[in-house]
Structure 1
Amino acid sequence: MTALKQALAEAYASAPADDVIVDTLEIRHPSFVDDNGPTAIRICRDRVDFQARLEPSAPMHPGALVTFLACPFDFTLPGIEEGRVPQLQIKVDNVDREITAAIESAYQQHAPIEVTYRPYLVSDTSGPQMDPPVTMVLTHIVVNVFVITGTATLNDVHNWPFPNRTYSATSFPGLTR
């Protein structure tokens, strides 16, 4: 279960003028590589680039100090509604040509494009203020010259088995007589 840190919960509740919440997105795909190997597209909803430390359990570069590029984007966090798969709506404006090309190339491949949402406080860049961060799979993408829009969902949570362990005689010998 995702939990907000106390500092972020207070910032949402009181909206202090001296502490700003910086929303970030990390987009990952196996085709995203640079000179150092696998990489991710990291953007922040701000006017200047933002440096912050990733959580120790991050799927790529855990615990590393990374730079989120300033990029205008909007999003709607997933709601909690009975009978519906949670969806994260994303809209990225004035997209850089390199990002557009990377997203178009990744979408044509069969590997999933993962998106992680992390909120940070300007006063605390030691890690995201949500633990664990929300990670979803980008399912529907529309790319044009001016904007990228997409919908990210969890991996079909309605078809996850519950309980998620299969009880068999090999893993639980006490089941056989």
Structure 2
Amino acid sequence: MSILETVYASGGDVIIETLELSCPAWDAPILLCNGFEDHTCTDENGRSLTFTASGITVSLPKKDNSGDQSLAFAIDNVTGEAQARIDAAIESGERVALTYRPFLASDKSTPADPPYRMTVLSGSTQGAMLQIQAGFFDMLNTAWPRDKYTTNFAPGLKYL
């Protein structure tokens, strides 16, 4: 039984959900946590990260065989910082990576579960809220075979 399963079953501890959004176009990653106070936690690589308190909600992916493993979350975008960063990522054409880590309030020295590493797939702004979808590798919408047999890839096709 994992640490989080024990906390879900018996309670007694607070789970701090953290998000790390990073992109090569940004000078620093966006570090957010749920709640009303900032938390300094140590990630799985030993980095000490200070997560900014934010009004975020996280909807974890279902643990089933449906093939749709996406994480949805909303960021309070009152200051407009998140929207400005997303716009910079779109302009540069770079991939935005998301890392979700749950920590326990009693032990911030390591994540309570292994982190989820995903790619941001889409986002939309609704008033002062930024809704973002992130997901693992999309197996259902992946073409098979992956190599497209075009005349650039296989020049002999133009003679068929």
Give me the TM-score of the superposition, normalised by structure 2: 0.80
Question: CA offsets per residue over residues 32-61 of structure 1, 9 Å max, x none?
Answer: 10xxxxx210000010101100112xxxxx
Rounded to whole Å, the distance in 2 between the matches of 1:160 and 1:68 is 38
Amino acid at match of 2:32: I
Structure 1: any 5+ residue segments left out of the alignment? 34-38, 57-62, 162-177
Partner of 1:31: 25
Cα displacement (A) at 1:109? 3.1
Instruction: For 1:133-152, list aligned pairs within 5 A.
Output: 133-152=115-134
Structure 2: any 5+ residue segments left out of the alignment? 145-160
Question: CA offsets per residue over residues 83-123 of structure 1, 9 Å max, x none?
Answer: 42301011112443223211221133322111111000011
Q: Secondary structure at the match of 2:24?
A: strand
Instruction: For 1:17-166, list aligned pairs within 5 A.
Output: 19-33=13-27, 39-56=28-45, 63-131=46-114, 133-158=115-140, 159=142
Rounded to whole Å, the distance in 1 between the matches of 2:126 and 2:33 is 20
Cα displacement (A) at 1:10? 1.2
Q: Is the contact between residue 53 and residue 125 of structure 1 (CA under 8 Å) also seen in structure 2?
A: yes
Give me the TM-score of the superposition, normalised by structure 1: 0.73
- Number of equivalent positions: 143
Rounded to whole Å, the distance in 2 between the matches of 1:116 and 1:93 is 18
Rounded to whole Å, the distance in 1 between the matches of 2:134 and 2:16 is 20
